Chains A and B, each alone.
Chain A
Amino acid sequence: MKNVLNRAVGHRLFWPLVMLAALLLINVIAVPGFLSITVNSEGHLFGSIIDILRNGAPTLIIAVGMTLVIATRGIDLSVGSVCAIAGAVASSMILASPTPNNVGTVTGALLTALVLSLGLGLANGLLVAGLGIQPIISTLILMTAGRGIAMLITEGQIITVNSVPFAFLGSGFILGVPVATVAGVLIFALAALLTRRTAMGLLIEAVGINPEASRQAGVRARGLKFSVYALCALLAGIAGLILTSNQTAADANNTGLFIELDAILAVVIGGTSLAGGRYSLAGTLVGALIIQTLVTTVYTVGIPPIATMVFKAAVVTAVCLLQSPTTAAALERWRSRLATRHLQGVAAKAGAAR
């Protein structure tokens, strides 16, 4: 029993899960019915938990791509801008079309947006893998220029879209579960299958741990880097479409603003090192849930909006400090001291008995 506990505490997802449970607990105390899920007359699931799963989906989708990018020792700052571009392209195409409620129109718009996102990802990949420019600066370029491109597409306006098929993406349900959640789960599962059931994950980690050594061992580092940046941008495009559909409007300035920071945060809280190498998709999932629960907590507990950022800083700091090897070592010392004291006590008793 004790052994199991020790192993649980030592697991790298232990503290993130504790933090997630603590946040949920705070919510349950503030709102007793927090965990309840209701089914309405149309068979759709409703409840705060469902909200977390739906609103957290875009961050999760991006964080999955970001995990793979970070595992290759890279980073992608441009995802927020790609979100905005994807949303802007799809919205303006639907708006320009005479038949905005036609499924074909919407599908065409979505595919165009996704192809464009993929292209932007390839551009990032070209700078990072092709030219060998530092990832943070390569993607910073698209981060800056991308908002401009999105504004160019929307001509500086906020485009409101009234299209039933498009709205389905952000607020529809499949078998009672929100579409965004289904998309998030599918993408997460696909990524996990693709990288963990094949050698791909291993190769990505190899590139992240030592690019030169893995290249000499025959790993096609360049192609792998290209693919992860392309994939990350594609996923950012999907997330951008969900966000835009959910708001029923494309806002070039604010769609996906700071989502790159949230995604990176989710990845790191989940235990993946920014130095590259080993990564954990399960950790990223927990990280993304923590971040979304954090946002929800602010509303349910009624933390004043002006203190939101401070609260976020406190939670992030707490998770990082708890996960720190220094803290683990201190805990270990404390436990072993307790154990010794216990043993000494037993020995003393035995001595007295003799």
Chain B
Amino acid sequence: MTTLSASLTPRRLLDRVVDVFTSPKSGPVLVTAILFLLMYVGGGLRYHGFFAGQVVLNLLIDNAYLIVLAVGMTFVILTGGIDLSVGAVVALSTIIAARLLQLGWSPGVVIVLILIITSLLGLLVGLMIQVFKVQPFIATLAAMFLSRGLCYIIAKESITISNPFFKAMANIRISLGYRLSITPSVVIALVVLVIAVWVLQYTRFGRTTYAIGGGEQSGMLMGLPTARTKVLVYVISGFCSGLAGVLFSFYTLSGYALSAVGTEMDAIAAVVIGGTLLTGGYGFVLGSALGVLVLGLIQTVISFEGTLSSWWTKIFIGALLLVFIILQKVLTSRRT
């Protein structure tokens, strides 16, 4: 924040605060953060044991894979695109992992292979979008069908993972003090997050990503490598989906063709809640991580509520999402 000059009257200060909140750049993220805190405090007042530190850490543990997905999705949405294939690619990754581990491959090779395959898939999608001008929604929808289809071809049934390394990654807890712990997956997700923040804020690639969303034509006329960047964001999203798939298989210790159905919508919702515009150009990757935590917190509230039947859960999630988005819209709308 800029240093406040001595002549600042309360009136000006209010104006400045309103400006920050209504700017399309930072407003939605700030509002999301405030609403997240309100929801957390509200939950804490309502439910016993909600304030325990481990509840927050569990948000990270349960949603590590979703954070990684949302990071990849943020890159894509910042350029004005969208990636519907991420959920299917997660499923494909888990099933490749489970099948190859079953065949006795070493975990290191399997993980590297998955990341290469999913990145290549992202590359194909990116080329389809950039070279053949196919709309991102459709190109990634085709990739979604392809990935789900490949899942069924590899294995229709769920395969349990019994590999010692994967089991270790699922069970190891990194202690953070008294009764607080996280999993290695959380560390991986946070590392990915930090790298993404660095790439988007401090590299030319990141600047170009924002520029494409702001105005592709202008970016190209300025001599920015828009074509290369646009393909690369889909490679990044593919890579992140693969990594998220690996984390997901650490989490569930199985590979299943029908896992992670609809996860792409969770990832998109997280990115949008986190303040990124679907038309591109505005947004922060940290906001997306916050969006994931909001979705996770909604789930936590529901589990603390306890007695909800499965349909009320869905309605409740929809209703909370609705309240959240309306509040975000109202609080960030410009005064007329």
- A contact set with B: CB distance below 8 Å: 77, 127, 131-134, 136-138, 140-149, 151-152, 156, 252, 261, 264-265, 268, 273-275, 305-313, 316-317, 320-321, 324-327
Cross-chain contact B128 with A131 (CB below 8 angstroms) = no
Top 5 nearest A-B pairs (CB, nearest first) are: A145-B318, A148-B314, A309-B149, A310-B149, A151-B311
Give the complex CA separation of A94 and B20 in angstroms: 55
Query: Is B294 an interface residue, CB under 8 A from the partner?
Result: no
The closest CB in chain B to the CB of A316 belongs to B142
The closest CB in chain B to the CB of A321 belongs to B132
Would A321 and B150 be within 8 Å (CB), given that A141-B318, A144-B318 are in contact? no
Cross-chain contact A131 with B317 (CB below 8 angstroms) = no
In the complex, what's the smallest C-beta–C-beta distance from B217 to chain A, in angstroms? 14
Cross-chain contact B329 with A274 (CB below 8 angstroms) = no
List B306-336 residues whose CB lies under 8 Å from chain A.
Answer: 309-319, 321-322, 325-326, 329, 333
Give the complex CA separation of A306 and B313 in angstroms: 32
Give the complex CA separation of A326 and B279 in angstroms: 24
Chain B residues with CB under 8 A of A317: 128, 142
Would A148 and B133 be within 8 Å (CB), given that A131-B326, A141-B325, A313-B146 are in contact? no
Stretch at the interface among B1-9, B158-166, B171-179, B264-272: B264-272
Chain B residues with CB under 8 A of A145: 314-315, 317-319, 322
Cross-chain contact B318 with A316 (CB below 8 angstroms) = no
Cross-chain contact A156 with B149 (CB below 8 angstroms) = no
Query: Is B152 an interface residue, CB under 8 A from the partner?
Result: yes
Q: List 23 A-B contacts (CB under 8 A).
A: A131-B326, A136-B268, A136-B278, A137-B268, A137-B269, A137-B325, A140-B269, A144-B265, A148-B317, A151-B311, A151-B314, A152-B311, A152-B315, A156-B310, A265-B138, A306-B152, A310-B145, A310-B150, A312-B145, A316-B145, A320-B134, A324-B134, A325-B133
Cross-chain contact B153 with A316 (CB below 8 angstroms) = no
Query: Is B201 an interface residue, CB under 8 A from the partner?
Result: no
In the complex, what's the smallest C-beta–C-beta distance from B59 to chain A, in angstroms? 19
Would A273 and B135 be within 8 Å (CB), given that A145-B319, A316-B142 are in contact? yes
Give the complex CA separation of A123 and B244 in angstroms: 35
Chain B residues with CB under 8 A of A77: 265
Would A142 and B325 be within 8 Å (CB), given that A156-B309, A306-B156, A312-B145 are in contact? no
The closest CB in chain A to the CB of B148 belongs to A309
Per DSSP, are chain A's interface residues mostly helix, strand or loop, or mixed? helix
Chain B residues with CB under 8 A of A309: 145-146, 148-149, 152
Among B128, B277, B317, B333, the residue within 8 A (CB) of A134 is B277
Cross-chain contact B311 with A148 (CB below 8 angstroms) = yes
What is the size, in residues, of chain B's interface with A at 8 Å between Cβ atoms?
Answer: 45
Q: Known pairs A141-B325, A152-B312. 19 more at Cβ < 8 A?
A: A134-B272, A134-B277, A134-B279, A144-B317, A144-B321, A145-B315, A145-B318, A146-B318, A148-B311, A148-B317, A148-B318, A265-B141, A274-B135, A275-B135, A306-B153, A308-B149, A309-B148, A316-B138, A321-B132
Query: Is B143 an interface residue, CB under 8 A from the partner?
Result: yes
Give the complex CA separation of A146 and B311 in angstroms: 9
Chain B residues with CB under 8 A of A252: 311
Cross-chain contact A151 with B310 (CB below 8 angstroms) = yes
The closest CB in chain A to the CB of B135 belongs to A274
List B271-323 residues whose CB lies under 8 Å from chain A.
Answer: 272, 277-279, 309-319, 321-322
- B contact set with A: CB distance below 8 Å: 82, 128, 131-135, 137-139, 141-143, 145-146, 148-150, 152-153, 156, 265, 268-269, 272, 277-279, 309-319, 321-322, 325-326, 329, 333
Cross-chain contact A148 with B272 (CB below 8 angstroms) = no
Give the complex CA separation of A42 and B316 in angstroms: 50
Chain A residues with CB under 8 A of B329: 131-133
Cross-chain contact A324 with B325 (CB below 8 angstroms) = no
Chain B residues with CB under 8 A of A320: 128, 132, 134, 138-139, 142
Give the complex CA separation of A101 and B8 in angstroms: 76
A127, A268, A310, A327 pick with most chain B CB within 10 angstroms:
A310
Cross-chain contact B325 with A133 (CB below 8 angstroms) = yes
Cross-chain contact A324 with B132 (CB below 8 angstroms) = yes
Cross-chain contact B153 with A310 (CB below 8 angstroms) = yes
Chain A residues with CB under 8 A of B148: 309
In the complex, what's the smallest C-beta–C-beta distance from B330 to chain A, in angstroms? 8
In the complex, what's the smallest C-beta–C-beta distance from A205 to chain B, in angstroms? 17
Chain A residues with CB under 8 A of B278: 134, 136-137
Give the complex CA separation of A113 and B128 in angstroms: 41
Give the complex CA separation of A309 and B156 in angstroms: 13
The closest CB in chain B to the CB of A149 belongs to B315
The closest CB in chain A to the CB of B136 belongs to A274
Would A313 and B318 be within 8 Å (CB), given that A141-B325, A326-B133 are in contact? no
Give the complex CA separation of A147 and B316 in angstroms: 12
Chain B residues with CB under 8 A of A273: 135
Cross-chain contact B311 with A313 (CB below 8 angstroms) = no
Among B82, B138, B314, B316, the residue within 8 A (CB) of A268 is B138
Chain B residues with CB under 8 A of A311: 149
Cross-chain contact A268 with B132 (CB below 8 angstroms) = no
Give the complex CA separation of A229 and B84 in angstroms: 22
In the complex, what's the smallest C-beta–C-beta distance from A87 to chain B, in angstroms? 15
In the complex, what's the smallest C-beta–C-beta distance from B294 to chain A, in angstroms? 13
Chain A residues with CB under 8 A of B133: 324-326
